[in-house]
């Protein structure tokens, strides 16, 4: 192996194994910041010795053993050796002498538990959403600070600061490296799922052309979601999130036309949808639905996405079912934006009049004040029942509300075409 190849092999092994190494060390030291430091030490040691000695047969076990040894030294130096730590140290020493025992470790459930603790800690509600996202990508994605900064179009020092502060916040709040208590579990899980969804959307919103770094964010979010599903196979909403992301990602290739312009869902060339991802999404949705009688918000959104995925043509879309799913989602989220989406679905299922009635019901919602899509949707529905004069007025209202030049032009163009 050339030294360049060896270095790349080390980095690849590191990316694969870093999360479980950090998780295992954090269980020993009780804190993720030092755990990451020791794991990094192992990487540095590998970069120093592998180019000469060659890549070990089991790189993951080597990195794990090295990181554990550093952690034990640290614990000893800090005179933190109570009996529990001695036991840990003993176990770890065994591991250093026999890489196989680590491999067994890696296959055993403890590792899964450690990883879960790491995820719940990185996504702790004591942290801001931004900090949770950065820390999760760093600790569970194995991304460098530079990579995170590039993906989020943020300056490197800003992201570095964010991560340092996040670790400090965890330490100052004495967040234990533990699974959430039963009473907190739903909230804590919600926080984890939100982080994964945020990462996905950051990539999805900008997935165009050669912006591969942003696409990478989508893939990273999908990977994290799949990892979560492996760790919590009985959590309906985890599978619901996996389903939602697989189904959304399945449409990636159809979302942009030849000119780089976005294509609306109903206008997309469905032959470009990725069948494998659709199949995976539908399978995850099935499992999510089997696990509970009351579907959560991610599962409901996945079920709506599935209605589109199952329709080979836009005309085959099961709008009646979509309305029923939106009923449940509106009930659950109490969101006026969801209610607006529901009105559109009702219009598709039961006619524009029915949809329009619902739009009027929510027109005075304070949350929708100044939201240009409200008059835009109303315009579309009025146009469909031939009330073009009112429709044009609504389009002009929408145009006045949007802060975006290009969108304003589009809205006014449409208004002109209805005259």
Partner 1 sequence: MRFMVIVKATKDSEAGVMPGQDLLEEMGRYNEELVKAGVLLAGEGLQSSASGARVRFEGKKRTVIDGPFGETKELIAGFWILQVRSLDEAIEWVRRMPNPHPETTEVEIRQVFEDADFAPVATPGQMEREARLRAQVEAAHGS
The answer to the question of residue 13 lying near partner 1 (CB under 8 A) is yes
**Separation CA 308–CA 270 (nearest Å):** 10
Residue 259: CB minimum distance to partner 1, A? 7
Closest CA to 219 of 204, 235, 231, 205: 204
Of residues 116-155, those binding partner 1 (CB under 8 A): none
Residues 339-368 that bind partner 1 (CB under 8 A): 340-341, 344-345
Q: How far is the CB of 305 from partner 1 (least distance, A)?
A: 4
Q: Is residue 207 within the footprint of partner 1 (CB under 8 A)?
A: yes
Q: How far apart are CA 113 and CA 115, in angstroms?
A: 5
Q: According to CB under 8 A, which one of 255, 270, 384, 387 is a site residue for partner 1?
A: 255
Using the rule CB under 8 A, give the single segment among 167-175, 255-263, 351-359, 388-396 that binds partner 1.
Answer: 255-263
Among 164, 266, 367, 389, binds partner 1 (CB under 8 A): 266
Comparison of 74 and 223: residue with beta carbon closer to partner 1? 223
Q: Does 3 bind partner 1 (CB under 8 A)?
A: no
**Could you say whether residue 216 binds partner 1 (CB under 8 A)?**
yes
Is position 271 an interface residue for partner 1 (rule: CB under 8 A)? no
Residue (of 296, 276, 152, 293) closest to 211 by Cα position: 152
- For residues 184 and 171, give the distance between their C-alpha atoms in angstroms, rounded to a whole number: 19
User: 262 - beta bridge partners?
Assistant: 256
Q: Tell me the CA distances in angstroms from 379 to 356, 385, 414, 415, one per residue in order.
A: 9, 10, 10, 9
Q: Would you count residue 107 as binding partner 1 (CB under 8 A)?
A: yes
Per the CB < 8 A criterion, the answer to whether 126 and 192 are in contact is: no
- Where in 17-56 is the site for partner 1 (CB under 8 A)? none
Question: In 3D, which of 154, 163, 115 has the Cα closest to residue 135?
Answer: 163
Stretch of 41-49, 125-133, 177-185, 203-211 contacting partner 1, by CB under 8 A: 203-211
Minimum separation from the CB atom of position 79 to partner 1 (A): 37
In the complex, the smallest distance separating the C-beta of residue 226 from partner 1, rounded to whole angstroms, is 3
Examine residue 308 and tell whether it contacts partner 1 (CB under 8 A): yes
297 binds partner 1 (CB under 8 A): no
Q: Which burial class, exposed, middle or buried, applies to 5 when counting CB atoms under 10 A from its CB (0-12, 13-18, 19+)?
A: exposed
Binding mask 149-188 for partner 1 (x = CB under 8 A): ----------------------------------------
Chain positions contacting partner 1, by CB under 8 A: 8-9, 11-13, 15-16, 59-60, 107, 112, 204-212, 215-216, 219-220, 222-227, 230-231, 247-248, 252-253, 255-256, 258-262, 264-266, 276, 280, 301, 304-305, 308, 322, 326, 337, 340-341, 344-345, 373, 376-377, 380, 404, 406-407
């Amino acid at each position: 192996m050339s030294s360049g190849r060896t270095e790349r092999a080390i980095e690849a092994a590191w990316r694969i194994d870093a999360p479980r190494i950090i998780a295992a060390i954090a269980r020993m030291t009780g804190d993720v910041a030092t755990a990451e430091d020791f794991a990094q030490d192992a990487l540095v040691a590998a970069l120093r010795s592998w180019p000469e000695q060659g890549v070990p047969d089991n790189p993951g076990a080597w990195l794990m053993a090295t990181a554990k040894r550093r952690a034990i030294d640290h614990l000893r130096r800090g005179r933190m050796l109570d009996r529990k730590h001695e036991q840990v140290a003993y176990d770890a020493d065994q591991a250093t002498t026999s890489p196989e025992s680590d491999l067994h470790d890696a296959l055993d459930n403890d590792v899964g538990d450690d990883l879960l603790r790491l995820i719940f800690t990185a996504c702790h509600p004591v942290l801001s959403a931004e900090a949770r996202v950065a820390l999760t990508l760093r600790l569970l994605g194995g991304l460098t600070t530079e990579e995170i900064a590039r993906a989020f179009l943020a300056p490197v020092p800003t992201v570095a600061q964010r991560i340092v502060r996040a670790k400090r916040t965890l330490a100052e709040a004495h967040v234990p490296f533990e699974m959430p208590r039963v009473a907190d579990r739903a909230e804590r899980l919600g926080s984890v799922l939100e982080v994964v969804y945020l990462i996905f959307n950051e990539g999805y919103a900008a997935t165009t052309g050669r912006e591969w770094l942003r696409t990478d964010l989508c893939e990273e979010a999908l990977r994290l979601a799949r990892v979560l599903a492996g760790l919590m196979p009985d959590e309906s909403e985890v599978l619901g999130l996996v389903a939602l992301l697989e189904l959304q990602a399945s449409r990636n290739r159809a979302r942009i036309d030849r000119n780089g312009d976005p294509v609306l869902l109903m206008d997309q060339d469905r032959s470009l949808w990725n069948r494998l991802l659709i199949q995976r999404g539908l399978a995850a949705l099935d499992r999510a639905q089997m696990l509970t009688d009351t579907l959560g918000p991610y599962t409901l959104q996945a079920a709506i996405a599935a209605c589109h995925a199952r329709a080979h043509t836009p005309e085959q879309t099961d709008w009646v079912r979509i309305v029923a799913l939106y009923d449940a989602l509106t009930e659950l989220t109490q969101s006026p934006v969801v209610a607006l989406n529901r009105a559109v679905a009702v219009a598709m299922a039961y006619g524009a009049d029915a949809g329009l009635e619902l739009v009027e019901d929510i027109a005075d919602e304070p949350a929708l004040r100044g939201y240009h899509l409200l008059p835009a949707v109303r315009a579309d529905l009025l146009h469909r029942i031939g009330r073009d004069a009112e429709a044009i007025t609504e389009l002009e209202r929408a145009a006045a509300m949007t802060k975006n030049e290009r969108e304003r032009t589009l809205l006014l163009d449409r208004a002109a075409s209805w005259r």
